[in-house]
């Protein structure tokens, strides 16, 4: 499950859904679909985003306003 925390300085800190590391800054979405069926949909850190890009997976930068805070 995606986790977002608010620090004392009002900066969002996220947990990468792939490597489970905490990170600040922009979250990225990695998506994989097959015949219209979504197989993968994760919010990840920059490092995991770069790996996904190299593997040819669909990626995009996510605005903080698009992230559901749980």
Q: In a structure prediction context, what are the per-residue pLDDT tens digits for the chain, which is 70 residues long?
A: 444 555 455 567 889 999 999 888 888 999 988 898 989 999 999 999 999 999 999 999 887 666 655 4
- The pTM of the full predicted model, rounded to 2 decimals, is 0.73
Is 70 buried (19+), middle (13-18) or exposed (0-12) by CB count in 10 A?
exposed
Q: Do the bridges between strand 58-61 and strand 4-6 make them parallel or antiparallel, or are there none, so unpaired?
A: unpaired
E strand or H helix that includes residue 51:
helix 46-54
Structure token digits, residue 69: 């805070």
List the domain boundaries for the chain: 4-66
């Amino acid at each position: 499950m995606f986790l977002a925390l608010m620090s004392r300085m009002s900066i969002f800190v996220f947990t990468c859904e792939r490597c489970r590391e905490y990170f600040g800054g922009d979250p990225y979405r990695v998506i994989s679909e097959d015949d219209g069926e979504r197989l993968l949909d994760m919010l990840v850190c920059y490092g995991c985003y770069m790996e996904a890009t190299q593997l040819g997976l669909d990626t995009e930068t996510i605005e903080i306003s698009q992230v559901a805070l749980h």
